[in-house]
Amino acid sequence: MATGLPSRLERPAHVTASIPDHLAGPTPSISFEFFPPRDDASEIALWQAIRQLEAVRPAFVSVTYGAGGSTQDRTVRVTERIALETTLTPLAHLTCVNASVAQLRHVVGQYAAAGVRNILALRGDPPGNVRGPWIPHPEGLDHADQLVALVRSLGDFTVGVAAFPDVHPESPDLEHDVQTLIRKADAGASFAVTQMVFDADSYLRLRDKVAAHRDLPITPGLMPVTNVKQIARMSELMGTPLPQAVVSRLAAAADDPAAVRAVGVEIATELATRMLAEGAPGIHFITMNRSTATLEVFGNLDL
């Protein structure tokens, strides 16, 4: 199948398939996250991964904004292409970063014009320094629950939100994060996707605390590690601590890239198996625009 051309596979009834319906289904939901390409070469790699993972028939796929909302235009463009040229259901990312309410309305309109009806509403990270102070746009929004409410007011959209099993870097404690998720649900969010998980107990703890208050399905994010330096950097940026057991297993293989990759797939398989056995509605794979390791983990799960 030629990269980027309309899919020859049978299309679903429409690109607006409900993500919450998938999450409530009898089998676990599998989904994939991509990031927008930086140049022509990375765009080719992205579309190769999309086409390879399309064959798995995931419940949905998402395309992130870059750090600080730096890739908004490319994110919208790739999401539109996924909606128009593949059999996949896109989950469109939307953040408050550097955006007025009028600009946010415009982006939602672009998504809607492509048939997209599932949106992941995020506050987003401060531009320039993801650990810097958050300063909202003077004509924009300050919190994700406000963005959820805005999107819901603009049409028939299903809205998802982010969740942080290891506590958001700006949050004082887990209970604060639980209350934040409750506010997002009350604003109209119908599902959540977590940051990458390396400790199943952290995910289960957050899920159970939220479930005591609201019916909000929370899907864990999972990233098969293939590069130790890369995952250490991402862990730092996302505020997701790596458990010592994970660090030790990766460190033991650090001098052998193939061994690191094998250990990463093994860890991801163990985490996914445990979380699915404990009732997670699915797994959201953070693919880094590569398909091989993700497909290996998926195959190990025998879904």
Tokens matching residue 282? 């699915």
Pair 119, 151: CB distance under 8 Å = yes
CATH number of domain containing 49: 3.20.20.220
Which is more confident, 297 or 124?
Answer: 297
Highest-confidence segment of 9-23, 27-41, 224-238: 27-41
Q: Is residue 39 part of a domain?
A: yes
pLDDT tens-digit map of 236-267: 767 677 888 998 899 899 889 999 999 999 99
Q: Is residue 182 part of a domain?
A: yes
Q: Is residue 11 part of a domain?
A: no
Q: Is residue 7 part of a domain?
A: no
Q: Is residue 189 part of a domain?
A: yes
The whole-number pLDDT of residue 186 equals 98
Q: pTM for the full model?
A: 0.91
Q: Is residue 1 part of a domain?
A: no
Instruction: Give how many domains the chain has, as a whole number.
Output: 1
Residues with Cβ within 8 Å of 73's Cβ and at least 6 positions away in sequence, in order, are none
* pLDDT at residue 11 greater than cutoff 50: no
Q: Is residue 3 part of a domain?
A: no
pLDDT tens-digit map of 110-126: 999 888 999 999 998 87
Other beta carbons within 10 Å of 155: 11
33 part of the active site: yes
CA distance 212 to 81: 39
Q: Is residue 59 part of a domain?
A: yes
Compute the average pLDDT of residues 211-234. 91
Compute the average pLDDT of residues 291-299. 97
pLDDT tens-digit map of 175-209: 999 999 999 999 999 999 999 999 999 999 999 99
The whole-number pLDDT of residue 164 equals 94
- Choose the catalytic residue: 10, 33, 266, 270: 33
Domain of 141? Answer: 19-301
